[in-house]
Structure 1
C-alpha cells in the first residue's frame, strides 16, 4: 500500500517533468533564399542540421547548456564525401558539427542556459557570415528592469566592410566580413580583456548592429539574462 501511495504521488510529477528534465524550446527559422546548416560548439545532438529556405524547426535544448550556435553557408560534399562550407566550416568533413571552433568569418549566438534563466547575445567578434535575430517569447529580465528584449544583427556589414576584410566565395562574390583581429593580427585589434576599447572597424559595425557585441570586452548592451520565457525564436536572415 505504501508503494502504491508513493506512485500516486509521483505520477503527476513524472508527467509534468518527464525524465526529470524541463528543456528550453528553440524555434529556428531560415528566411534566407538558400539552405543553411546549423552547428554548435557544444553537442546539441542535432541529427538534421540543414535548414532549407522558409523552413522552421523546433529544438529542445538541455535545461543546462552553455555554448555557441552558428550557421554554415554554401556547403557541399566533394567526391570523397568530405563535407565543407564556405563560411562557418567546422573542419571535420562531417555534416553534423559540434565542438570545433568554426572557420571565420562567423556570426555567433552565445547562450548560457540554466533553466529557467537563459543568457543570450549576438557576437560579431569573429566577423559576420549571417544576419540573425534572437527573440524570447515572454519572460522578464532577472534584474527586474523589464521584458526580455530582442537581440539581433539584422543588417549586412557588406557596405562598411573594407576590401581587406571581405571574405569571398568560390565565385569571387561577397560571403561575409572578417574581424580585424582575425585578419590583421595586430594587438590593437586583438585585445582580450575587459578593458578593451573599440577600434575603427568595430565602431562601424556597432553603428549598424547596436544590439550585437562587436569587440572583446563589449558590454553594451549587457548579455541579457531572461527568466520565464516560453521559448526562443532564432531567425536567420530576418526581415
Structure 2
C-alpha cells in the first residue's frame, strides 16, 4: 500500500518535470464502517477492488475516460467460490467486474475525463447504496463562473424511499433505495432527454441530496466541467 501511494504521489511530478502532461489524479477514501469493493464501467484498470474501511488511496486515471465508478457492499465468497455482494453486484461471480454494469440500486459517480478538463457528477438515477462526495482540489469551471464545486449525496434515502422501492438483504435489513424507473418501468419515471421534468419520487430523493441527479434527464445541477484541479477526492460515507 505504502509503495503504491508513494509511486502515485511522485509520478505526476516526474511527468511534469519531463514536459509530459500527467494523468488526472483521483484520491479514494473509505470512511464507511465496512469494507467496500470498487468497480467501474468501462474498467479503469488496475485499481484494487477491495477497499477496507479507513483506507486512503491515490490513483492516476487515464487522461481520457468516460464512464461510471461505484462501490459494492457486503461482499463475500460462498463455498463454491462464487463472489457476490448485497448491492452493486456485477453478477459474474468474481471480484473484478471487468466493465459489467451493476445490479441496482447503486450510487454512481459519473466522470468524463478529457485532460485537462474533467466533468463529474453524482447520480441516483439507479438508486442509492452508499453515501458519496466528489471534491475537486482547486480548479475553475470551464464556463468561467467560479471554482469547481463539491458535489455529494451525504444522506440516506431511507426516510423518503417508497416501500415498494426499498432494497432489503436476506435478513430483511434496509441496504438501499431503488429508482422508480428501474423497478416500475413506467415512462412517467424514465424520461431521458430534453424537456424532462422531475416526478414525485425523484423530487423526494432530491430533498436529502440536492446536488445529485435523481432521474433520467436531470440536469440540475449541471454536469460540472472543471479544469486545472490538482486532484479529485472521492469519499465514501463522508462526514457531515
**Structure 1 length-normalised TM:** 0.91
Quote the Cα distance in structure 1 between the aligned partners of 2:148 and 2:15.
29
- Gap regions ≥5 residues in structure 1: 1-13
Question: Structure 1 pair 47/15, CA: closer, same or farther in 2 (3 Å)?
Answer: closer
Other-structure match for 1:207 = 207
Other-structure match for 1:182 = 182
Other-structure match for 1:97 = 97
Structure showing greater radius of gyration is 1
**Structure 2 length-normalised TM:** 0.91
**Cα offset, 1:18, TM superposition:** 6.4
**Cα offset, 1:21, TM superposition:** 5.3
Give secondary structure in 1 for the equivalent of 2:175: strand
Other-structure match for 2:219 = 219
Question: In the alignment, is the contact (CA less than 8 A) between 1:194 and 1:216 conserved in 2?
Answer: no
Give secondary structure in 2 for the equivalent of 1:214: coil
Quote the Cα distance in structure 1 between the aligned partners of 2:134 and 2:54.
17
Quote the Cα distance in structure 2 between the aligned partners of 1:83 and 1:147.
42
- Compare 18-27 and 155-164 and name the one that shifted more: 18-27
Question: In the alignment, is the contact (CA less than 8 A) between 2:15 and 2:22 conserved in 1?
Answer: no
Question: Structure 1 pair 165/234, CA: closer, same or farther in 2 (3 Å)?
Answer: same
Question: Structure 1 pair 116/148, CA: closer, same or farther in 2 (3 Å)?
Answer: same
Other-structure match for 1:23 = 23
